[in-house]
Amino acid sequence: MKNTEAILVVPGTMEIKDAPVPVPKDDEIMLKVEYVGICGSDVHGFESGPFIPPKDPNQKIGLGHECAGTVVQVGSKVTKFKPGDRVNIEPGVPCGKCKYCLEGHYNICPDVDFMATQPNYRGALTNYLCHPENFTYKLPENMSTMEGALVEPAAVGMHAAMEGGARLGKKIVILGAGCIGLMTLQGCKSLGATDIVVVDVMPKRLEMAKELGASAVINGMEEDTISRCKELVGELGADIVFETAGSQITAKQAPQIVARGGRIMIVGTIPGEVPIDFLKINREVTIQTVFRYANNYPMTIDAIASGKFDVKSMVTHVYDYQDVQKAFEESVHCKKDIIKGVIKIEDAE
């Protein structure tokens, strides 16, 4: 058994290096990684380094946190899994002791150990990794490990939809049709919503939104987003507006689109300050940020396995592990063509 890991040597350069084979603790499983999704945060890390730079300049930086594979070994106290089980992992391990964890909001635990970021910066782009049993999930027989790797971004969309109150009868606008926007679309649909308008500037993404069930799409480069949204959802505006693009432009548009008493859900990571015209939302509009997910993996796995949530169709590019540098370079430079890229991890030679 041999292990390797893809390391961010400097921004813009990934290298695959030999690594020790990890040994699972008593409460951990050891996973043979098969697929890793490329997240927008990974792409940012590749371009500019981690969102939160490590204190130690010599800290080894791994990328990737969306992964699935097969259990090859279990710790002495593990009871839910055995070698050969196909699983995925929830990449954030909270402390389990703070007020947020005890209240069930472990996604905002200040001491969470989340893969590819602080405190350990360990990435999923490796042959083998260890992970706690409590944050590992068995995949149904009809679900591939590639689909299992995409449960993580799907859970982001599901969590956003649930927090926003998506359901039948709600008029919804989603600003941004990247991976998370499309996952949010599917999360809303799985909760019963049918009147969903999706806005983006890339035709390929808008085509995918239509395939995945958007009732209408708007190309923000060709149409006036605000007036066109009002035409589609009604002059009063949308009950829920999801900002998933992580853009100041779309964040400024959201208050122009939301209805009185509606909700603006900030799902994207928006850089810098965004001025808000409170006169546009001073009729009991709620603005809420969304951070990752909490307690959403089981329902998201069920939604994918049942066919309510289609993650497989979103995969436009599959890269070999040895081509990890190419995978990230294309993720940076070919955004108009890539909806979701994944990396297939082969055995170490």
Going from N- to C-terminal start, the domains of the chain cover 3-150+311-344, 157-289
Tokens of 237: 């505006």
Sheet holding 171-175, edge to edge: 216-219, 195-200, 171-175, 238-243, 258-266, 286-289
pLDDT, tens digit (0-9, with 9 covering 90-100), for 31-86:
999 999 999 999 999 999 988 889 888 899 999 999 999 999 999 999 999 999 99
Q: Would you state the pLDDT for residue 53?
A: 87
Tokens of 188: 């809303």
pLDDT, tens digit (0-9, with 9 covering 90-100), for 205-253:
999 999 999 999 999 999 999 999 999 999 999 999 999 999 999 999 9
Record the pTM.
0.96
Find how far residue 158's CA is from the centre of its chain. Answer: 10
Q: So what's the architecture of 157-289 in CATH? A: 3-Layer(aba) Sandwich (3.40)
Short-list 22, 17, 42, CA closest to 131:
22
pLDDT band at 191 (very low <50, low <70, confident <90, very high): very high
Q: Would you state the pLDDT for residue 280?
A: 84
pLDDT, tens digit (0-9, with 9 covering 90-100), for 267-285:
999 988 998 888 889 999 9
**Does this chain's domain 3-150+311-344 share its CATH topology with 157-289?**
no
- Across all residues in the chain, what is the average pLDDT? 96
Q: What value does the mean pLDDT take over residues 196-204? A: 97
Nearest-angstrom CA–CA distance, 270 and 288: 13
Per-residue pLDDT at 348 exceeds 80: no
- The listed CATH number (2.60.40.420, 3.30.1490.110, 3.90.180.10, 1.10.10.10) that belongs to domain 3-150+311-344: 3.90.180.10
Q: Would you state the pLDDT for residue 349?
A: 59
pLDDT, tens digit (0-9, with 9 covering 90-100), for 85-139:
999 999 999 999 999 999 999 999 999 999 999 889 999 999 999 999 999 999 9
Tokens of 152: 């993580």
Q: Would you state the pLDDT for residue 323?
A: 98
Short-list 281, 296, 211, 210, CA closest to 251:
281
Q: Would you state the pLDDT for residue 277?
A: 86
Q: What value does the mean pLDDT take over residues 147-174? A: 98
* 292 phi and psi angles, rounded to 5 deg: 55, -115
Q: Would you state the pLDDT for residue 64?
A: 97
